[in-house]
Amino acid sequence: MTSALTIALVSEHASPLATLGGVDAGGQNVHVAALARALADRGHRVTVHTRRTDPSSPEHVRFASGVTVHHVAAGPPQPLLKDELLPHMPAFGDQLARYWAVRRPDLAHAHFWMSGLGAVRGARRHRLPVLQTYHALGAVKRRHQAEADTSPPTRIAIETAVGRSVAAVIATCRDEVAELVAMGVPAERISVVPCGVDPFTFEPLGPVAARTERPRLLVVGRLIPRKQVDLVVDSLVELPGVELLVAGGPPVERLDEDPEARRLLARARSRGVAGRLTLLGGMPADRMPALIRSADVVVCPARYEPFGIVPLEAMACGVPVVATAVGGHLDTVVDRGTGLLVAPDSADALTAAIAALLREPATRAAYGAAGRRRILDRFTWERVAAGTEQIYREVLARPAPAAPRGRRGSAARPATRTRTGAP
């Protein structure tokens, strides 16, 4: 029997306690929360370190059996956009160092680039191995958003330094591996472990949200331009009688304050399809399975997607997916197997794929059943946790790195390596 580990998950802006659908609350929150639970289910003790955003929050919150959330005092105890957090990462890392001096974990696993910066700073003096999962890369964001990219200008350089400093990098898809190698992260230090989904929460059988007789399309995600919900709005022009539901963004009562929500509604009015578009706003996680089960097709039209958990949730519910052929979608959605992949930025291709599926109920059923099988075979959180644990143990089996040199808080020189490929 293998020994239990004490694991520190570092997620500076994405707390497992956050309500999903906000500006900076999405897939990373789901990933950290589910991974923490799954590692605890395997007998490990997990602490999730996240920045305090409310002065009334206790320092420690029990999240699940074997999982504690630690609120780290770094910067003002109020919500901040993640792009504003970089100046507070030195304090975040120093607080981690103090915490780990008293409650030393076996390793730290950082999620997102700023978490990596803080974790490396906090771990150096304790000679703790750090593993890194990026969830999104600055180089990819800069490529697609150009001048609209609001990331700090030093992001890419810091991401590269972190990747060269940590014991291992856990990528979530093959596309990310190529990006990391291009950044200069040693390939032998990279492994692939995908994101996952709970197949008992997201399953074909269960309550179904109320629906009309209209064919239903569903988009789930944050209301930001790169998600390209506007392309699906445009597709309604060529899909008479079809309705589109969009879940994400602020609560429904505050949607009129959201610029992207206003833009989508204006676009729908200009196309004459406003009566077939419903913006649901951010929704509680426990309502998502019923909503997904009510859809004929789940559409994932993002211009780029570092991984994308929504296709997994749809496939787990037995609902076919139309997704752009980018990022993690290339690993999760099997084209003409569990759904259809289309070129990004192409409203025509998206519309044609949706129309093809809506015309063929038997094909939708076959794709949905195949998607469910694929989830059970590859993408449960149990499998994700097992693969992650394997990499943890490989790192811990290596000789301890040499004591750090140089000024305190700087990135350590690479000391350990791991192989490329899914465990």
Indicate where the chain has its CATH 3.40.50.2000 domain(s). 6-196+381-396, 216-378
Q: Residues near 211 by Cβ (< 8 Å), separated by ≥ 6?
A: 294
pLDDT per position as a tens digit, 238-286 = 999 999 999 998 999 999 999 999 999 999 999 999 999 999 998 888 9
- Model confidence at 416, pLDDT cuts 50, 70, 90, reads very low
Cite the beta strand spans of 221-373 per DSSP E. Answer: 243-247, 277-281, 297-300, 321-324, 339-342
Q: Which of 197, 215, 232, 249 is nearest to 383 (CA)?
A: 197
Phi, psi of 103, deg, nearest 5: -125, 75
State pLDDT tens for residues 212-246: 999 999 999 989 888 999 999 999 999 999 999 99
Q: Is pLDDT of 138 > 50?
A: yes
Where does the pLDDT of residue 306 fall: very low under 50, low under 70, confident under 90, or very high at 90 and above? confident
**What whole-number distance in Å separates Cα of residue 188 and Cα of residue 171?**
12
Question: What is the CATH code for 6-196+381-396?
Answer: 3.40.50.2000
Share of the chain above pLDDT 90, in %: 81
pLDDT at residue 401, rounded to an integer: 59
Cα–Cα distance for residue pair 419/402, rounded to 1 Å? 21
Q: Which helix (H) or strand (E) holds 63?
A: strand 60-64
Residue 380 φ then ψ, to 5°: -75, 155
With cut-offs at 50, 70 and 90, classify the pLDDT of residue 403. low
The two three-digit tokens of residue 200, written as one number: 């008992």
SS3 at position 374: helix
- Checking if the pLDDT of 74 tops 60, the result is yes
CA distance 74 to 62: 21
CATH 3.10.20.30 fits 216-378, yes or no: no
Q: At residue 404, does pLDDT exceed 80? A: no
Report pTM: 0.85
